[in-house]
Structure 1
């Protein structure tokens, strides 16, 4: 059987020759354990053959080999899932008879191999932090308890004018931005980190583009992704800044990379900052996204920068701003999540 596998595809389609039959019989004799034990099995030198030792096809056999005729004479079609299936190029809705395979399927167009590692912080989150948050935030409601009606967030019209009919409701007084309604933490919406954005504003790059190059190199070493260059959106005459000037870089990391970056911040960078109180508790956008800043001296504490410190000019390493986006619906839940990771907060607490 080994000799049959060694033959080329054209040769496998032809009838077995006497030589191949002889080799196949010899292979079956070798598998007999009783004869191999007593040494009575014949010793055949060409048992372990390869394509180099198999006989080549002659000119007559090559002329008779017609793969198109063999395909036309085939009465049963080959399995479509193995030979004829191609993932659709466009998704035409969930009711279309042809659906794209899952992204985890290697034949999918959007297949990405991995993940190949599990960050320690992410493993701690799934094993300890997520169950603890769900337990701490649990509020027992006895069965049959009537639900409390939430207060209206928008103001209605008093109906004193015929133009009030079918008109959209008004926002609160003072025209504030309405935050998201905080949802209770349950088993299916435990807060988690979704992405981390790191941005660096370098106004000195307008006069000296080398500052922009150093900032891109620093963010590249911190995140492993190529940062994009940002442009200013307003004019500042005192600083000589015009709209459209290249004066910053930013990059966003997701998934395991986001957890690994936060892990380095909590265990390697924050403990080495002298006289550091922590992150202000007033930070946040009322929707579960927190941010904090880091000075150039604090950026130099990252091991990726510290190990290659000679590559960056000392006075050109920029500071950065870190935006942590979570799946929480309030700043209170986001602070609770980051505190469980080991991030300290100080100052006035604002929900």
Structure 2
């Protein structure tokens, strides 16, 4: 092994069997001949020596290597460049590459946030819904993923002993008694009176843990009908606190007492999703709500019975946002406007949505309406 270290790096790349034949031609070779063959490079004297003929044959293979660098190779001609069309070769290929070996297909269906098989994040290029980003990770969303999601499952857990018969769902629609031939195959009727049929609340499992889907912030400024500058101020305020450009809304009805005509521009609104929604709610919970004087909280009776809650902010409350407070002199004090905030969640009832926001730190007061 010590004798092989003296051989050049190029010669060491040759097979061991070939080196052994070249370096040790006979079993009766003397130690002097062996030492002469194990030199670092083939010198002129070694090539003329008859005793080192085997070493000369061993290093003759190295003469076939190119001495010039590949960087000095001539550039390809325009004809060669024009004929090089890899896309055409890929299109003419009859058989595609095996997907199981060269491509990864994430699962098509998501079976809940706690399922062992998860789809990659949307920021991963191999995801089916690939979207560049996110470029930040809100603290409130981290809290939801690490603590709130599992706590909601624990709080809403309802133990059912094994073997308990399942309850038949109550039909909320009225059927027909069959007293007339026209009752056959006829759709069922709604309940008596005019009650609203709300969404049936589903139990919270690992497949449908409630989370925030989107938040819509809308501002109605009737003074903009006379002075359009109010509309500009309202739009600038929503742009500052959400980071998105609001759209201008128009009135849909005529109200003669208020001097409102249909089709006039009288408000702005914007909708934020994902991390932006969590960041906005985080600022409301930790920066705006604690600074509102004599604020009881959000009314517990709010909601549309489908898991969507709403609350309002006065013009004085809007100035508590850091984005507006830092540039307060830029907004005319008499043109400040409030807003209405609609929090849309994936919950199936107001009770679940209220439980979600309570776990994040939103206070509620008053009579609770399921």
Q: TM-score range by the shorter chain?
A: 0.7 to 0.9
Decide whether the 8 Å contact of 2:123 with 2:134 is kept in 1. no
Decide whether the 8 Å contact of 2:312 with 2:341 is kept in 1. yes
Residue aligning to 1:113:
132
Instruction: Figure out how many residues of one structure are paired with residues of the other and give that number.
Output: 280
- The structure with the largest alpha-carbon Rg is 2
Moved more, 152-161 or 263-272: 152-161
| Residue 78 to residue 177, structure 1, CA distance change in 2 (3 Å) | closer
1:106 and 1:339 map into 2 onto residues whose CA distance is 35
Post-superposition CA distance 1:169-210 (Å, at most 9, x none) = 111122222110000011111110000000000111111111
1:247 and 1:220 map into 2 onto residues whose CA distance is 17
Q: 1:22 aligns with which of 67, 70, 80?
A: 67
SS in 2 for 1:264: helix
1:254 and 1:302 map into 2 onto residues whose CA distance is 19
Post-superposition CA distance 1:108-167 (Å, at most 9, x none) = 997531112111000000100110110111111111110111221101112222222211
How far off is 1:330 after superposition?
A: 0.4
TM alignment of 1:1-351, pairs within 5 A: 21-24=66-69, 57=74, 62=77, 65=80, 67-68=82-83, 106=125, 111-351=130-370
TM-score normalised by L of structure 1: 0.73
How far off is 1:224 after superposition?
A: 0.6
Post-superposition CA distance 1:61-86 (Å, at most 9, x none) = 84775641798xx9xx9999xxxxxx
1:109 and 1:134 map into 2 onto residues whose CA distance is 28
Post-superposition CA distance 1:13-72 (Å, at most 9, x none) = xxxxxxx943549xxxxxxxxxxxxxxxxxxxxxxxxxxxx66959xx84775641798x
SS in 2 for 1:118: coil
| Residue 62 to residue 164, structure 1, CA distance change in 2 (3 Å) | closer
| Residue 114 to residue 246, structure 1, CA distance change in 2 (3 Å) | same
TM-score normalised by L of structure 2: 0.69
2:339 and 2:156 map into 1 onto residues whose CA distance is 33
| Residue 67 to residue 268, structure 1, CA distance change in 2 (3 Å) | same
Any stretches of 5+ residues in structure 1 without a counterpart? 1-19, 26-53, 81-101
| Residue 103 to residue 188, structure 1, CA distance change in 2 (3 Å) | closer
2:363 and 2:85 map into 1 onto residues whose CA distance is 73
Residue aligning to 2:19:
none
1:312 and 1:106 map into 2 onto residues whose CA distance is 42
SS in 2 for 1:22: coil
1:206 and 1:158 map into 2 onto residues whose CA distance is 56
